[in-house]
Amino acid sequence: MANAMGFRSFGPPGLHRNGSSVAAGVPPAVEGGVSPPGFPANSWPANRMFSLHQALRFVVIALTTLAVSSFAADIPERPEKLKFPALTYEPPDPAVYRVELKAGPVAYVIEDRELPLVTISVLVRTGQYLEPADKAGLAALTGSVLASGGAGGRTAEELDERVDFLAALLSAGIGEAQGQVRLNLLSKDLADGMQLLRDVLATPRFQENRVALAKEQTLQGLKQRNDDSADIEDRERDRLAYGTNTWLNRLPTAASIQGIGRGDLEAFHRRWFHPRNMVIAVSGDFARADMVALLEKLLADWPFPGEQAPPIPAETDFAKPGFYIVNKDVNQGRVSLLLPGLRREHPDFLPVTVMNDILGGGGFTSRIMNRVRSEEGLAYSAGSMFPEGMTVARAFQASFQTKSRTVAYATQLVLSELRKIATEPVTEDELTTAKASFIDTFPRRFANKAQVAGQFASDEFSGRYERDPGFWRDYRRRIGSVTREDVQRMAAKWLQTDRLVVLAVGQKEEILKGHPDHPVKLEDLTRGPLVELPLRDPLTLEPK
């Protein structure tokens, strides 16, 4: 079909605004009879306009095809053959940001002008390990009411209102071996925020109704301890890994919570919340010198003397080898294989970390995941870890969930992987992948200024900076130097299966039956006996 000017259509006919029939592919200047600037109306030859349009299209297509062909020639046929330039990155130096304040604590102060925000995190040497034996739960209760129970001259309600008015985030908590108070707010409100922070740290009010609310919430939480098999597993795993008498297993009961009063919270706070027990991380929109002056003011003239926190007890009592079962009527059995672990400061920790990445810490590239999930289809997720024990040697743990009938068989598969990595060298590809997972992702640890300040404050708090100030500078070299021989040596040293403890939470009868296609005796999996652990009363923790 040709239009009125003699050109063939390149698409279905349309209707121009002047009512003339046009082809969809014809340039608007031709369709409307409009000439380019400088030419009389309707004088521009339509065929010349269209020929120029075609020529430009041809040139663009030709250049694009040439570029794509050249680019495609450089693309390997498989993803693993892609080559990347070596990553050039140096971590920040903690000494640049470290400040020793007059009141005693060390602060890491980092300017960040990207957003008009300031983040202040105060770490405190306190925690569950400092609770009296008959006051289990005291530390957590103190932390939960510290920033919600009023402070200084403000009631709890007035403090909440002021924080909301400033559009700030104020939080506090106390865990096993560390307390923390954190404030995030707009930089323009920094003066007000520092006063709020001072009040919470030095003069919290622990308002009676907020204390009562926190205790009631805790008691309701205790009642739910046996509702989720994961909670049962966590509780019994810690008892097996660290011993029933260690402070790590000093858990709250209904009686201990009911025996805690407002005066106990006040005394616990005044004993440990002192500048000498603090480490501070600050980042945001401020001048460094100004922030240091504000921190000095924050901690000056502390209203009570406090005590220096003692060292955290490191003694643990690992359970005797055996297969331990907690009977719980759930569809999936939860299984943990446990072995004694090591502290983060141990010279073996980094090579052990590489070894574990190959064994079970690397997700879909790890052996346990591939064996239990990908090959056998027995679990959705399976893996292992050597946790970072900053104060206590945290136990090695391999874990998975599977049907109760396949608990024994899946455990046998994991056990075989523990033995295999300790007796046979890993492949070069496995080692390269594991080391790359730590080296290539290394810059993520310092992705923003708040992360940098937080990481360095944590290192100061744990003592790693004092012991090894160049840890992050040397981290990739230490990871990169791990060899296949190191991996096998670490596995043989730290995966001694004659000490293996296995914990299973699930349907006891089904676990004992095993799977008809894969007969495995539980007694053959460890050097110890088969032991049934009682389900504990959630409020007293006494065996039912």
How many Å apart are CA 224 and CA 226, to the nearest integer? 6
Whole-number pLDDT of residue 12: 39
Whole-number pLDDT of residue 55: 60
Residue 70 has pLDDT above 60, yes or no: no
Reported as a pLDDT band with limits 50, 70 and 90, residue 57 is low
3-state SS string over 484-498? Answer: HHHHHHHHHHHCCHH
Average confidence (pLDDT) over 76-84: 81
Whole-number pLDDT of residue 18: 38
Residue 308 has pLDDT above 60, yes or no: yes
- For residue 448, CA distances in Å to 171, 309, 365 come to 21, 31, 29
Element (H or E) spanning 300, and its range? none
Can you name the residues that pair with 433 across neighbouring β-strands? none
- For residue 119, CA distances in Å to 98, 103, 169, 197 come to 16, 21, 9, 12
* Rounded (10°) angle between helices 138-146 and 208-223: 130
How many Å apart are CA 359 and CA 362, to the nearest integer? 8
Average confidence (pLDDT) over 299-316: 96
- Mean pLDDT across the chain, nearest whole number? 90
- For residue 146, CA distances in Å to 37, 167, 257 come to 75, 19, 17
Residue 52 has pLDDT above 60, yes or no: no
Query: What contacts 385, CB < 8 A, 6 or more positions away?
Result: 356, 360, 361, 396, 397
Average confidence (pLDDT) over 365-378: 97
For 322-533, give the CATH class. Answer: alpha beta
Reported as a pLDDT band with limits 50, 70 and 90, residue 132 is very high
Whole-number pLDDT of residue 87: 75
Query: What contacts 372, CB < 8 A, 6 or more positions away?
Result: 378, 379, 382, 400, 402, 410, 413, 414
Q: Which candidate, 464, 498, 482, 468, places its Cα nearest to that of 389?
A: 464
Tokens of 287: 């001048």
Q: Does domain 94-299 have CATH number 1.10.600.10?
A: no
- For residue 446, CA distances in Å to 155, 392, 513 come to 38, 26, 50
Residue ranges, comma separated, of all CATH 3.30.830.10 domains in the chain are 94-299, 322-533
Tokens of 239: 């008892």
What tens digit of pLDDT does each residue of 421-479 get?
Answer: 999 999 999 999 999 999 999 999 999 999 999 999 999 999 999 999 999 999 999 99
Whole-number pLDDT of residue 192: 98
How many Å apart are CA 418 and CA 386, to the nearest integer? 13
Reported as a pLDDT band with limits 50, 70 and 90, residue 2 is very low
Lowest mean pLDDT among 22-36, 337-351, 356-370: 22-36
Residue 68 has pLDDT above 90, yes or no: no
Residue 60 has pLDDT above 70, yes or no: no
Is 2 exposed, middle or buried, given 0-12, 13-18 or 19+ CB atoms closer than 10 A? exposed
What tens digit of pLDDT does each residue of 141-172 get?
Answer: 999 999 999 999 999 999 999 999 999 999 99
What tens digit of pLDDT does each residue of 90-129 get?
Answer: 999 999 999 999 999 999 999 999 999 999 999 999 999 9
Whole-number pLDDT of residue 84: 79
Q: Which candidate, 420, 411, 418, places its Cα nearest to that of 520?
A: 411
Lowest mean pLDDT among 28-32, 293-297, 408-412, 452-456: 28-32
Whole-number pLDDT of residue 81: 81
Q: Which candidate, 359, 482, 484, places its Cα nearest to that of 418?
A: 359
Residue 277 has pLDDT above 60, yes or no: yes
For residues 420 and 46, the model is more confident at: 420
Whole-number pLDDT of residue 74: 73
Average confidence (pLDDT) over 251-276: 98
How many Å apart are CA 202 and CA 404, to the nearest integer? 52
Whole-number pLDDT of residue 82: 82
Residue 30 has pLDDT above 60, yes or no: no
Task: Please tell me the total number of residues recorded for the chain in this structure.
Answer: 544
Residue 61 has pLDDT above 70, yes or no: no
What tens digit of pLDDT does each residue of 189-211 get?
Answer: 999 999 999 999 999 999 999 99
Whole-number pLDDT of residue 88: 85
Tokens of 8: 């063939």
Whole-number pLDDT of residue 65: 62
